[in-house]
Structures are given as C-alpha cells and as structure tokens.
Homo-oligomer: A and B are copies of this chain.
Amino acid sequence: MEIEDWRDEIDRLDEQLVKLLNARSQCAIELGRLKRELGLPIYSPDREREVIAHVTGINHGPLERDAVRRLFERIIDESRSLERATVEKETNFRAKNAKARKVPKKRS
C-alpha cells in the first residue's frame, strides 16, 4: 500500500468515527432530557469514571491506556457540553412558553 492508500483508509475510518461520535452525543442529549425530567444533575462523576474504566479495560492497543483515557476525557467533555447546552435551551424555551401562556394578549 502507498501513502495515498493509507490516507484513504484513514478517511474511511474518520467517516465512521464522525457518525459514532454524533450517535454518542445524541444518546447523551436523550440522557440529559431524561435526567431533567427526573430532577437529576447532568454531571455524574461516578458514571464518567465508569466510562473511562470501561474503555481502557477493553483497549488492546496499539493506543496506550493513557492515550485512550485522554481521548475519552475529550469525548465525554464534548458530549456533556452539548447535553447541557441542549437541555438548558429547551428548559428556557419551555419556561418562556409557560410565561407567554399566563399573560393573555390585550384586545385591540
């Protein structure tokens, strides 16, 4: 295989990675909505430790354990930011709508 072949292979893997990272973020958003309904906080340090233990536990390399940990810390961080931003936006939207319903429009 030549340089271009390896780069094409990496591009194909990256396309799958983009899909999976987005699918993971969509799950995090759904989880965030559920936590809001249940009155639970977005940040769950125990669960984040569990995720890191899971991914480093199933890793067979060539990436080293610490590299996998660093990568998933970033992945968790981006998922959590998106989960928080989406849930906050929806909560504010609901609050605004609820307020609008309470103040009837003046008759012209």
Binding site for B on A (CB under 8 A): 1-3, 6-7, 9-11, 13-18, 20-31, 34-35, 38, 47, 51, 54-55, 58-64, 67-68, 70-72, 74-75, 78, 81-82, 86
A7 nearest CB across to chain B (Å):
7
Q: Give the one of A7, A14, A38, A82 with max B CB within 10 A.
A: A14
**Given A30-B6, A74-B70, also A60-B22 (CB < 8 A):** yes
Interface of A is mostly: helix
Q: Which residue of chain B lies nearest to A6 when distances are taken between CB atoms in the complex? A: B31
Query: Which residues of B sit under 8 angstroms from A55, Cβ to Cβ?
Result: 14-15, 17-18
A25 nearest CB across to chain B (Å):
5
